[in-house]
Amino acid sequence: MTYRAPLKEMFFVLDTLAGLEAVNRLPEFEEASRETAYSVLEEAAKFSEQVVAPLNRVGDLEPSRRQEGEVITTPGFKPAFQQFAQGGWQGIQHPQQFGGQGLPKLIATACQEMLHSANLSFALCPMLTDGAIEALLTAGSDAQKATFLPKLISGEWTGTMNLTEPQAGSDLAAVRTRAEPQGDGTYKVFGTKIFITYGEHDMAQNIVHLVLARTPNAPEGVKGISLFIVPKFLVNDDGSTGARNDVHCVSIEHKLGIKASPTAVLQFGDHGGAIGTLVGEENRGLEYMFIMMNSARFSVGMQGIAVSERAYQQAVAYARERVQSRPVDGSAREAVTIIHHPDVKRMLMTMRALTEGARAVAYVAAAASDAAHQHPDEAVRRQSQAFYEFMVPVVKGWSTELSIDVTSLGVQVHGGMGFIEETGAAQHYRDARILPIYEGTTAIQANDLVGRKTVRDGGAVAREICAQIAETEAALDRHGGATFTAVQAQLARGRAALEAVVKFVVANAKSDPNAVFAGSVPYLKLCGIVFSGWQLARAMLAADAKSAEDPSFYAAKIATALFFAEHVLSQSSAMCAAATAGDVEATYFMV
């Protein structure tokens, strides 16, 4: 099934929920008008649909392969990436100073979603490069920025993130890779890094590895980690690539999904030491890497939305064509297409509602990030940053968890044919399975939501969000009518459940941390459910006001909000109970 970017839906969310017009008024974004945004998204849709999407199935059947120490990517990937670079797509949201287009994160997020929907494996390469760019923009020296950023933003070079080691997965305190100063401003790096996405490939002239390592006499634990730039090819004074650095791919992983994306094991320093330069100050590497990680975490959340959209489109297309069984209400004597069957409708509506809700939350968060960086009022910047930071673990955790459900439903809609690889439904399911794992598992996102985003400020940001939700409830109540009242009632119950969990977390985090963290994932999922219901309720209000412009589209928005409220938001009380149930080990296990 061919992917088609849901442009009408994207434009609606950008305009109505995320506030594109307000973003356009921010300093530095004056050129990001509605017309510009629409033009950029339309071109992104053409590229994603026509160039990248056709390679998705090819990549699953002919994944990247390692040959004599080099990695050869899926046929078609290299010319597609060259088109991607030439089109300026890597630089959408990056500064014009270094060759980027300087557009808002909000617009870049929609472009990113399309690329990931088209081909999750392909889009991982520019996603990691975006993270490397963000890290260098924040912590790189002027010389490092001048050397690396123009090449990364142009797509001539790509970037990677090197954290994980065989003995150090989520626990970065266990990192052993070492960096020895050479007295000339460079370091020699020695060690092994695993799970390095696009750690070796043939699509770009150079690969810029950002590597966590320890210097001699560094403190133990995460406080002793530094960050280094270790390029595949050393860079000459004139900016050209020079000699091959001592970093080599010793193997690539054979994976359940995202098969076309080469996941490399990299060996640094087997032949005398890989030459690297320090980013920022020694022992602040984890702080700098978190910039890259937070960028990547939001992007992985967009991957979840993207693959969900792709799976939904395929399931709808199949349901409209597959003829099976007579309707249960006896309205026809002949077999009908399965989209007429009530449970198939339920599955498709679940896929659609989850995807649209998560998309709305992510786009609203992206707009907040733009305000956090560019709004002229410092108080608004602080408030927007706090909102965005609260949303990042939710976007990452919730959107990736729901992608498992949505892609699984996509297989189910196909029935037995969904279990057959030729239909392609199974690939979406397999590709999605990594999303709640990499860039910090759902539990890590939930721990972040509890510790850094809720307990640290005593629940202030969470309560402020709940207050905004209550304003939407009031608008629904003023509107009246059975449909709006039904959504208002479920949203109010969801908000109350969220407030109860926030109160529980703040009250018990210090005295009974096991009880709080045992419910952290249900808390995160509750946030995802309530925030999605909130945004869909806002969409419902806007759709009603615009209904005469496009009756069928806006009627569908209202129906989706109602479905979400009754079938998903209604689960909030159960999530509240799970989040506040207490210490799992003490209750259920005797260890």
Helix (H, G, I), strand (E, B) or coil at 535: helix
Please tell me the distance from the alpha carbon of residue 493 to that of residue 496, in angstroms, as a whole number.
5
d(CA 582, CA 512): 9
From residue 411, how far is each of 60, 312, 322, 401 by CA, in Å? 17, 10, 14, 16
What tokens appear for 384 in the block?
A: 């927007």
**Where is 263: in which H helix or E strand?**
strand 263-268
Tell me the sheet residues that pair with 124.
Answer: none
| Euclidean distance between CA atoms 513 and 557, whole angstroms | 41
Q: Are the C-beta atoms of 445 and 396 separated by less than 8 Å?
A: yes
Terminal Cα-to-Cα distance of the chain (whole angstroms): 50
Is residue 57 a contact partner of residue 401, using CB atoms and an 8 Å limit?
A: no
- Whether the Cβ atoms of residue 125 and residue 83 lie closer than 8 Å to each other: no
Q: What is the C-alpha separation between 237 and 278, in angstroms, rounded?
A: 17
Question: How remote is the C-alpha of 53 from its chain's centroid?
Answer: 19
- Alpha helices for 322-377 (secondary structure H): 342-374
In order of 39, 101, 105, 567, the CA distances from 43 in angstroms are 6, 15, 17, 36
Residues forming a β-bridge with 264: 196, 252
For β-strands 178-181 and 274-279, DSSP reports them as: unpaired
Residues with Cβ within 8 Å of 538's Cβ and at least 6 positions away in sequence, in order, are: 16, 17, 360, 472
Residue with tokens 């000699």, as numbered in its chain: 243
Residue 515 phi/psi, 5° resolution? -65, -40
Contact 370, 504 (CB under 8 A): no
Q: From the candidates 401, 439, 473, 499, give the one annotated as an active-site residue.
A: 439
DSSP letter at 247? E
Chain mean position to CA 531: 16
DSSP secondary structure code for residue 197 in this structure: E
With contact defined as beta carbons under 8 Å apart, do 532 and 361 qualify? Answer: yes
Q: Which residues pair with 72 in a beta bridge?
A: 65
How far apart are alpha carbons 113 and 301 in whole angstroms? 10
Helices 520-546 and 460-479: crossing angle in degrees, nearest 10, is: 30
**CB of 477 closer than 8 Å to CB of 485:** yes
What is the C-alpha to C-alpha distance for residues 63 and 263, in angstroms, rounded to an integer? 11
In whole angstroms, what separates CA 189 from the centre of its chain? 30
Cβ neighbours for 377, distance < 8 A, ≥ 6 positions apart: none
Q: Are strands 178-181 and 157-162 parallel, antiparallel or unpaired?
A: unpaired
Considering only CA atoms, which of 35, 36, 135 is closest in space to residue 94? 135
Say whether 439 is catalytic.
yes
The residues that are catalytic are 439
